[in-house]
Amino acid sequence: MTEYKGQYAELYTILGYKFKNETLLREALTHPSLEGNPNYQRMEFVGDRVLGLAIAVWMYELHPTADEGGLASRHTNLVRREACTKIGKKLELGRFLHMAKSSDETGGRTRNTIIADSVEAIIGAIFLDSDFKTAEKFIRRNWIDLANNVKVADRDAKTKLQEMVQATGRPTPVYTTIDKTGPDHEPVFTIAVRVQDEGEEIAKGQSKREAEKQAASLMLARLKSSWNK
């Protein structure tokens, strides 16, 4: 095993990669709560795209008989926030994050959204520090267990709700953002979903997507209960 030195020696060992430009790594590990410092959001944007392409190519190779829908479904399961969170916790990235004391004291180092974002940022940083092949190698090494056990993704709550509602001739459910609270780096969204003639359900989440899925799940449960009577 390669022996590394310096501030990030332990992290280099965990990642299996040593940065030539540590400024990129520092940025990838910096939470937006540290105002005035470059943070991981721009790096996360790059990493998300690199991860998506790397997984797409990998699924194409691993499943030669799968159709486009089968590939897309597996791809969704491997790039989603839950998958990135698993990888981030396995790598113990939370220990290495730079963040404001207030975020640290409120559990920022273990928050799933932050862990997932930091994983994508690390991927983006590796890509910018080297090349796509190196980032792809990092992804395949760390996603191998998930990739070997990935299943065709189940339809999420929003898709199920839309199909259920449209089957009755009603229009597509409408999602509305009711409120957004908290700082920009740790927002909480309140979302309402309305179905014609059935009222609305409201839920909260750390992203609009998460809140919409929660609201859709609540509406699904209610409609299944009332419509199956």
pLDDT value at residue 68? 86
| Residue ranges of the chain that CATH labels 3.30.160.20 | 157-227
CATH number of 157-227: 3.30.160.20
Q: Do you know the residue count of the chain?
A: 229
Mean per-residue pLDDT, 189-210: 92
**Which of 96-110, 128-142, 197-211 shows the highest mean pLDDT?**
128-142
Which residue in the list 27, 44, 117, 120 is annotated as catalytic? Answer: 120
Residue spans in the chain of domains classed CATH 1.10.1520.10 = 9-149
Residue 163 annotated to the active site: no
Q: Is the CATH number 1.10.1520.10 carried by domain 9-149? A: yes
- Is the model's pTM score more than 0.75? no
What is the C-alpha to C-alpha distance for residues 184 and 206, in angstroms, rounded to an integer? 11
- pLDDT tens-digit map of 131-171: 999 999 999 999 999 999 887 655 678 888 888 888 888 89
pLDDT of residue 182: 86
Residue 219: the pLDDT is 92
Catalytic residue flag (residue 120): yes
Name the strands in the sheet holding 199-205, side by side, starting at the edge strand that comes first in the sequence: 174-181, 188-195, 199-205
Which residue in 100, 83, 113 sits closest to 205, CA to CA?
Answer: 113
Average pLDDT, the chain: 91
DSSP conformation letters of 126-179: HHHHS-HHHHHHHHHHHHHHHHHH--PPPPPHHHHHHHHHHTTTPPPPEEEEEE
Q: Could you give the angle at the alpha carbon of 87 between the alpha carbons of 81 and 88, nearest 5°?
A: 85
Q: Which of 22, 48, 198, 200 does the annotation list as catalytic?
A: 48
In whole angstroms, what is the distance from residue 112 CA to residue 74 CA? 21
Q: What is the pLDDT of residue 95?
A: 94
